[in-house]
Amino acid sequence: MQRKTVDRKSGSSRRNFLKSTGALAAGLSLAGTSTVKGATETLALNGGPKTITHPSAGTAAKWPLWGKDEEKAVLDIVRNPAGYGQIALLEKEWKAFINTPYAKAHCNGTGALTAMFFALDLPPGSEIMVPSYTFFATIVPMRLFGLVPVFVDINPRTLNFDLEDAKKRLTKNTKAVLPVHWIGLPCEMDHICDWAKEKGLIVLEDACHAHGAKLKGKAMGTWSRMGAFSFQCSKPLPGIEGGMGTYQDKADYERATTYGHYGLPSSFPKDSEYRKFQGTGLGVKLRMHPLAAALVRSQLRGLAERTRKGAAQVRRLNDRLVKLPGLYEQTYGRSDMERLHYAWNMLFIDEKETGMSRAQAVKALQAEGVRTSNTTYRLQHKCALYAEAKWWHHAPVIPELPGSEQANATAMGLPYFTSEVPELCDQYVKAFEKVWAHRKELGKA
Ligand SMILES: Cc1ncc(COP(=O)(O)O)c(C=O)c1O
């Protein structure tokens, strides 16, 4: 499998010199007076002092960040239950925020994805290319409409849709691609859209982690014919529960809306073929709770600022961490991407380059007080549902997905610090430097 090399190592010439002469490995500086940072300190694993002592270590990743505005937004509704007006207001604001012609709020991201699959109106047996490294909701609702997932690998350093792998998995039944912008990092939608156009495929997006993330100035969820967002509590724009579909075409918007909103077809233009379904809709009820809409509207006002601060905080940490040998972050290294962060700050270890295993590194880091783990995500293609043909129009092919396996073998999730904690970041860097300074002995254990 061809994989892009994604490397943010800064590689200053002094550092390269040190590396190439072996001076760094020997613990010597150019002046010969100081040692590799942390080399003389005893690891906490071996009885030394813990590096992480900062009082905010347990609370710096607090989420959601709600305050007086959110309390007021909820109380206002409780005191004056004014129907469903908040939902329409949120849709209007969302359309302006990401610049999309049509948007429909749904009860959650799963609902937005389900309505999207319905709106596709594809014949049963149509296949959709989708990563296995995702939440069930990106895939399982396809089943309800006779659609079949074609599992595509991810790039293990970006955790995103691997276009080169997708090219190999195209079948005569493939009708659409559905990339997921994992934890706020945009997929390379420019390349994906070019290829999809060439092959006549529909492009969809799961933007449930990517509220306001952009590529080339264009928001995620607007690169495709239809996109889906989640406002579940852990997400970058939390409303406890909620979702949003984005649509470039009026017909998709009307179909998705009619599927889950029995009371809205009469709001469509007179010539709409879906107006007649007023009062019945076409399936289920996916209406968002107005309290959630009020929360999301309140959070939307501060989203850009939170995103900016969160990204700065991650840079404060990662710019130093990725200088350590064999330690990488989740990135394409593209300057035309504006990502956001959510839930984890994902790092990857190259065990060969580092000289110790992930498990050894994680154990030593945890002893220093670093909140990390051998991070694995449930791969959908390994779940029982996909192995039982009776649930699908035709059985999904269960492939080998080495990139997804590699991600699960090398990822080390750090918390995403949501408040400004420069001292804690310094301590995290110190802890990593200390463990890395002992990596040879750890690797031998
Ligand atoms: C990638 C992805 N897609 C879809 C969803 C579904 O969103 P919701 O929980 O709002 O239904 C989630 C939720 O975690 C998700 O992570």
Chain segment 50-71, per-residue pLDDT in tens: 999 999 988 999 999 999 999 9
**Of 251, 281, 299, which closes a domain?**
299
**Beta strands per DSSP E along 145-201:** 148-152, 154-155, 160-161, 174-177
What distance in angstroms lies between residue 345's CA and the mean position of ligand 1's atoms? 18
- Residue 8 domain-assigned (yes or no): no
| 164 plus 273 within the same structural domain | yes
Q: What is the pLDDT of residues 165-174, one digit of tens each?
A: 999 999 999 9
Quickly tell me which residue has 């895939």 as its tokens.
139
| 262 plus 381 within the same structural domain | no
Q: Which of 128, 136, 226, 232 is the pocket-test mutation for ligand 1 (most atoms within 8 Å of CB)? A: 232
- Residue 6 domain-assigned (yes or no): no
High-pLDDT (> 70) share of the chain, % = 92
Region 341-361: mean pLDDT is: 97
Region 401-407: mean pLDDT is: 98
CB-count exposure of residue 174 (10 Å: 0-12, 13-18, 19+): buried
| pLDDT band at 88; cut points 50, 70, 90 | very high
| 243 plus 386 within the same structural domain | no
| 268 plus 316 within the same structural domain | no
**Of 274, 299, 324, which closes a domain?**
299
User: What pLDDT does residue 35 have?
Assistant: 62
Backbone phi and psi for residue 314, each to the nearest 5 degrees, phi listed first: -65, -40
Q: What is the pLDDT of residues 249-300, one digit of tens each?
A: 999 999 999 999 999 999 999 999 999 999 999 989 999 999 999 999 999 9
Q: What is the pLDDT of residues 95-133, one digit of tens each?
A: 999 999 999 999 999 999 999 999 999 999 999 999 999
Nearest residue (by CA) to ligand 1, atom 14, is: 135
Give the integer Cα–Cα distance in Å for 174 and 184: 26
- Residue 92 domain-assigned (yes or no): yes
CB-count exposure of residue 10 (10 Å: 0-12, 13-18, 19+): exposed
Please count the structural domains in the chain: 2
- pTM given for the model: 0.92
Q: What is the pLDDT of residues 316-335, one digit of tens each?
A: 999 999 999 999 999 999 99
- Residue 163 domain-assigned (yes or no): yes
| 129 plus 177 within the same structural domain | yes
- Residue 58 domain-assigned (yes or no): yes
Q: What is the pLDDT of residues 142-183, one digit of tens each?
A: 999 999 999 999 999 999 999 999 999 999 999 999 999 999
Residue 1 has pLDDT above 60, yes or no: no
User: What pLDDT does residue 83 have?
Assistant: 85
| 208 plus 263 within the same structural domain | yes
Region 27-56: mean pLDDT is: 78
What is the helix (H) or strand (E) element at residue 70, kind and residue range?
helix 68-79
Question: Across the chain, what does the average pLDDT equal?
Answer: 92
Which of 31-35, 377-381, 393-397, 429-433 is predicted least confidently?
Answer: 31-35
What distance in angstroms lies between residue 86's CA and the mean position of ligand 1's atoms? 22
| 54 plus 99 within the same structural domain | no
Q: Which domain holds residue 55?
A: 13-63+302-444
Give the integer Cα–Cα distance in Å for 155 and 247: 27
Q: β-pairing, 218-219 with 214-215?
A: antiparallel
| 262 plus 142 within the same structural domain | yes
* Residue 113 alpha carbon, nearest atom of ligand 1: 4
What the block records as the tokens of 320 is: 């130093």
Region 382-410: mean pLDDT is: 97
* Residue 242 alpha carbon, nearest atom of ligand 1: 10
**Of 283, 299, 315, which closes a domain?**
299
The answer to whether the beta carbons of residues 130 and 336 sit under 8 Å apart is no
CA 298 to chain centre: 22
Query: Which of 16, 12, 15, 26 is CA-nearest to residue 437?
Result: 26
User: What pLDDT does residue 69 have?
Assistant: 97
The enclosing domain of 398 has a CATH number of: 3.90.1150.10
Residue 429 has pLDDT above 50, yes or no: yes
User: What pLDDT does residue 333 have?
Assistant: 96
Residue 10 has pLDDT above 80, yes or no: no
| 371 plus 224 within the same structural domain | no
**Beta strands per DSSP E along 173-323:** 174-177, 202-206, 214-215, 218-219, 226-230, 243-247
| 342 plus 437 within the same structural domain | yes
Name the strands in the sheet holding 327-329, side by side, starting at the edge strand that comes first in the sequence: 327-329, 344-349, 411-415
User: What pLDDT does residue 445 have?
Assistant: 84
| 78 plus 54 within the same structural domain | no
Q: Which of 159, 208, 344 is the pocket-test mutation for ligand 1 (most atoms within 8 Å of CB)? A: 208
- Residue 132 domain-assigned (yes or no): yes
Ligand 1 pocket, CB under 6 A: 108-110, 134-135, 137-138, 180, 206, 208-209, 230, 232, 243
The enclosing domain of 267 has a CATH number of: 3.40.640.10
| 283 plus 221 within the same structural domain | yes
- Residue 4 domain-assigned (yes or no): no
